[in-house]
Every structure is written in structure tokens, then in C-alpha cells.
Amino acid sequence: MSDASHLVPVAVHAPVHSGLGDLLSYASPEPLPPGTLVRVPLGAREVLGVVWDGAAPPPAAGVEIRAVAGVLEGLAPLDAHWRRLVAFTARYYQRSLGEVALAALPPQLRTLSAEQIARRLRRSTPAPEVAAETIENVVLSAEQESARAQIASEPGPFLLFGSTGSGKTEVYLRCVQEALAAAPDAQALVMVPEINLTPQLEERFRARFAPRFGAAAVVALHSGMTHAQRLASWLAAHAGRARIVLGTRMAVFASLPGLRLIVVDEEHDPSYKQQEGARYSARDLALWRGRTQGAKVILGSATPSLESWHASLPATPEDPAGGRYLRLHMPSRIGAGALPRVRRVDMNQQPRRSVLSPPLLAAIAERVARGEQSMLLLNRRGYAPVLHCADCDWKSDCPHCSAHQVFHKLDRTLRCHHCGLTQRVPRACPACGSLDIVPIGRGTEQLEEQLAELLAPVLRPDGTPARIVRIDADSTRAKGALQSQLAQVHAGEVDVLVGTQMIAKGHDFRRITLVAAVQPDGALFSSDFRAPERLFALLMQAAGRAGRDAAYMAVQGTPCEMWVQTSHPRHPVFEALKRHDYPAFAAQQLQERAAAGLPPFSFQALVRADARTQDVAQGFLRAASEAAQALPELAQVTLYPPVPLAIQRVANVERAQMLLESQHRTALQRFLAAWQPLLHATRADPAHKGLIRWLIDVDPLAI
């Protein structure tokens, strides 16, 4: 390194557990401000890096300092707010700084040359547009106006607890409008849990804001976009041209220098928790980012997560401070529409093996005859979960996973939904040769087929047969298939919609008057303590698809309904659902969790090990637990023994996990930070040969 060179610290995406540390030192002929994007050599490759804050780490003795290969000209440095967000994420979720930083950037930034980036920048600068002076707003209801006024006058964060159909989106639109009007460089981030909800929301935001700010002011960011589209959206947000970014969990890392408002819609949804790499919660990071960047944060849901509900408890004489969030309540539907009446069908009293109970089938037939729409929810795709031989008890087990291969009748395949293995359905039992192999259980394919048979005699008002559409991960694989099927439903070209949880979230179906949950009991007795919360949220969200158009319901003259077929009609989940009483359900669940010392009254982390054998996986976790006994930080943390995962083998990899729990978040974080070097040392021990990988999941959503 010449005397004229400057040492700069650079964050790069180094190989996992490489031991290289968070930052590497490189030589630059001139000082580079933190946040500058650079290309640097790493081994035999040239990679993207981000110049970081502070002094460069001193080089080890005898190590040659390599030079920065190039700077991405024309791109303003990533600001201090973005760098703090990345640093916090890496620290809290126990990942490397470079891994988080580089994963948060568009993939094309890693591959395009400086010249190509410059061309993209020139192309992405739109011509000036003539904008209208005002935005056409709808009149807010009293509840919407109250929520808007409180958001405008209070610092937040806010939990907007509004029933399905109460108009939460309109409140978001108005709050975004006010945030943008407050400053010429102000930006807003609006997050949704699912990719398939983004186009629907994008359409509403463009219709509202494009006349005022231009079409380029609203961009989307989600994994369903091409690399080129993601780069264009990211560049527009980074340069401040995009005033509104709509996206899924990845959008929480968008470079937004003028961020003034963050909206997290359906904040309870598990999709906000990343399940690969850095297992961050985008909802929690949105709250952290809003606090540190001075942006207001609105969490919205009809069924808030119990963590958010607990954090928004109002002040009481026993707790004068109350929760950290301000809870805003919107219990009424727009247009004075009624929430659906919930009807429980006791399947113990129905004909054995019936798919749909006679009363529910009759109710659906009535809807079809009147030209109304119905929606049936079965959260299991395929035709049947398993094929079974009645003679020798053979089942369609996946040879690579601890799971069954699912029978898909349409293409006569057996598919593993974990490793992806697909095989043709055998003509006879592979074990004994018997031809008597039958499907057990039901999936959406079978429900669609049987519904078509049962409704065959039923005619629509125009005398044509009932039209049934299935929406699940199988029927929407082709590009544009989901948008096409949803358009059919919105246009009234579908009488009965069958699907998985994909159809239960966020969609604004205007003609659905009946929703039915066909087999919801599986989640009632799960070993996961969060299963009742997830089931209640799913059923409440599904019920919210019915009767959303008050004017349409008034013309039809019949009440909207939610039917639940269950063998446990008196279960507390269904009792609360019948009353649409989320507060009562939340109070009961929080009481149980407080008694058991479960989140949000404690804090958890999982350490997971994947190996060639279960013995190796659990052996690594046991050794890591023994190494932790020497740590003083262990005093406030409980380590449970390692156990296999519920599905312990996937793609011939055995999986085990170990739960950590503490009453204090900071104590758990201190322990994890102190434990990391011991985990690395344990991994390097030859005794654990056969270990493939290990990872830490902080605040896990599934155990």
C-alpha cells in the first residue's frame, strides 16, 4: 500500500462462518465516505461492497492490503439511517454485517459494471410531468377521521385495529398524503405480507397519487419482480424520485433518505418473518427504523399479533403508562355493512365422511341460484395428503423426507411439498402389488372436484351451470394466472371460489356473501403454542371476505355468513369467532401465555443444526450447550435439550433444534453474542464431522 493510499473499512458478503469478520480493509487513493458502493477483490472474485463507518480494521501481520477495484459513480452513498438499520439487524439476528447489507441491495448491483449502472441511472430519470394541484379524496367515516387525526397529532407508533372492511386502506392513503405534503422530499413505505396483494394495493395508490406526483412516484419492491425491475425501483427510491414504495418484507431495507411514514398492513402475518438467511422480522425492523429515522409507524390489522396487542394495552390504574403503541379502534364496516353471521356445523352430527355438510351445501346452492358468490377455505393443496394401500399399509412416503408425498390427481403425480420430489402415481402398491391404493384426506383439488359433482344440478339465474375456480399455489404457477383468476372473481364470472389461505388475505371481493372453513380442526391441537392465534386470524380474515359491499348486500336482502365445519364446535377459538370478539380471544390467549411464561412475556431463540444424521445434529447442539455452561450470561437464560424438528428430515438432511428462553430481551442478546465464538469453535471440532450448517433464529414464529 502506498503512503498516499487510504485504508477504508468495507462490508462484503463473505462466506458464512468464514471467520473473516464483519469488515475488511481495502486501500483507496482517496478517502471514501461511508455508504459508498464499491467493487473490491475477495479471493479470486470481485464483489460488491459497502464502505462502512469508523476506522478500518488493522491488517494482520504479513497480509497485503488489496486496493478497491472501483467505485459505483453516480450513486449517492447509502445514508447513516440505512447503515444503522443494517448494523442493528445483523447484531440482533446474529448474522454478519456484510451478509445483511448485501442481501438488502438489488441483485443487479452486484453484477452490473459501473458503466451499466450509469446507463440505468440515465434511463431511470423521467421527464418532468405536469401534476394536478389537489388529490381527489373520499369522505372519511367518523372512525376513519378519528384515527387519521390521532395519527397526525401523536408520535406513535400506532396499532390500527380495524375490523375487516372498516376502511384501513383509506386511512393509510390519507396519512401517506399528509406525510408527503409536509415536505417536498418526504417518502412513505407501505408494506404488505404477500406478493399477490401488491398489484391490488399499487393500483389504488397509483390512482390516488399519480395525478399529483406523477406515475413514477409510486414503485413496488418484492421478489416477484425481475432483477431489472427491482433495480429500477430501488434506484428511484434511493434518489428520492419515488415518493411511495409498496412492497413485501424485503422493502423494509429500501434506501429511503426522506422516509417520514411506514405502514405495515396485516401486521400479524407470519410472512413478515424471513425464513432463510438472516431470519429478521420486517414488522419489528419497521418499528425500529421508524423510531431511529423519525418516521411514524402504523401497524394495521383486524387480528393483531398478540405481541402487538399486548404492546398497545391502554393505560389502567394498575399500569398508568400503558403499552408502547397507541391503539386506534375502527370496529364498524364502511357503509354500515354487517360482519358475517358465524354458523358452526358439528361434523359429529353429520353423515360420516361427508365433504360438505348438507346444510352448508344447501346454503351454497342457494347463493349460486341467486347469482351470489361463495368462498371455501381448505388450507391444504393437492387432491389428498397421502395415498394408502389397504392390504399392506403402504403409504406414499417421500424417500428423502419425514413426510408424505401429496397426491395430485390432475397430473397423476405424487409430490413432496418439502423437497419438491415429483413421481408418477404407481399403478399398484409398490410394496405388495395390490391395486387397492386409495387417497386419504382431502385437498383443494378434491374439494373442487366433489363440489362440481354436488352442484351439478344447481343452475345460476341465467340457467347456466355453476362455475367453480380453485386458487392455490398449484393453480397459480403460470405467470399472470393469479391475476387472471382474481379478475374472474371480481368480474362475477365465478360462483364458488375454492382455495388455501392465499384467498383469505386482503382481497376486496365485492360479491361474496358466504365463506366456509371446511377442515379447520387440524390447528386446534398443535404442539406449537401459536397455532390457535394463527387459526383465529386466518378464520377472521376469511370471514372478512364476505359482505364487504354494503350496497350490494342491501340489494340482495340476505345476511352474509361464515360457516365453520368442525368436530369441536365449543372450542374457545370458535366461540370467540362467532362473536367476532378478537379482544376476548386475545385476553384468553395472553392469560394462558403469562401463566406459562411464553412470549410476549418471555423472549426466545432457536439454534438449529442440519446434518447427515440426527445423532450428529443433536450431538453438535449438546456440545454447544455444554460450552455455554461456562458463560456468566447463562444465568438469565434457559437452554432446553435438543430435539428433532417436527419434520426432522428434508431432502436427506436431518434437522434438530434447541430452544433458548429468557425473561429479558437484553439478557438473551448478551448471551447469544457471547455464545457465538463458542458455536464457531464447536463447529470446527472434528467430532462434528457431517454437520452441514447451523443457524440462530431470534424471536422464532414456529417451534
The binding site for Zn(2+) comprises: 389, 392, 398, 401, 416, 419, 429, 432
DSSP labels for 627-639? HHTT-GGGGGEEE
Sheet hosting strand 259-265, strand order edge to edge: 218-221, 244-247, 187-191, 259-265, 296-301, 158-162, 326-330
Please give the order of strands across the beta sheet that includes 512-517: 341-346, 561-566, 512-517, 373-377, 496-499, 468-471
Q: Give yes or no for a contact between 455 and 368, defined as CB atoms under 8 angstroms apart.
A: yes
Q: How far is it, in rounded angstroms, from Cα 52 to Cα 59?
A: 16
DSSP three-state, residue 119: helix
Pairing of strands 244-247, 187-191: parallel
**Residues annotated in the binding site, as ranges?**
389, 392, 398, 401, 416, 419, 429, 432
Cβ–Cβ under 8 Å, residues 690 and 612: yes
At CA 553, angle to CA 547 and CA 558, rounded to 5? Answer: 100
**Which DSSP string corresponds to 129-197?**
----SS---PPPPHHHHHHHHHHHHS---EEEEE-TTS-HHHHHHHHHHHHHHH-TT-EEEEE-S-GGG
Residue from 364, 379, 380 nearest 512 by CA: 364
Whether omega for the bond prior to residue 157 falls within 30 degrees of 0, making it cis, is: yes
d(CA 630, CA 614): 26
Cα 227 to Cα 234, 256, 331, 366: the distances in Å are: 10, 19, 41, 48
- Residue 318, phi then psi, degrees to nearest 5: -75, -30
- Alpha-carbon span 568 to 156, nearest angstrom: 40
User: CA–CA separation, 331 vs 333, rounded Å?
Assistant: 7
- E strand segments, 215-256: 218-221, 244-247
Burial 123-148 (b: 16+ CB within 10 A, else e): ebeeeeeeeeeebeeeebbebbeebb
Q: Which helix or strand (DSSP H or E) is residue 512 part of? A: strand 512-517
Amino acid type, 553: M
Instruction: Answer yes or no: are the C-beta atoms of 650 and 418 closer than 8 Å.
Output: yes
What percentage of the chain's residues is helix, strand, coil (to nearest 5)?
Answer: 35, 20, 40
Helix axes 168-182, 142-153, angle to 10 degrees: 40
Round to whole Å and give the CA distance between 264 and 167. Answer: 15
CA dihedral of residues 471, 477, 483, 487 (deg, nearest 10): -40
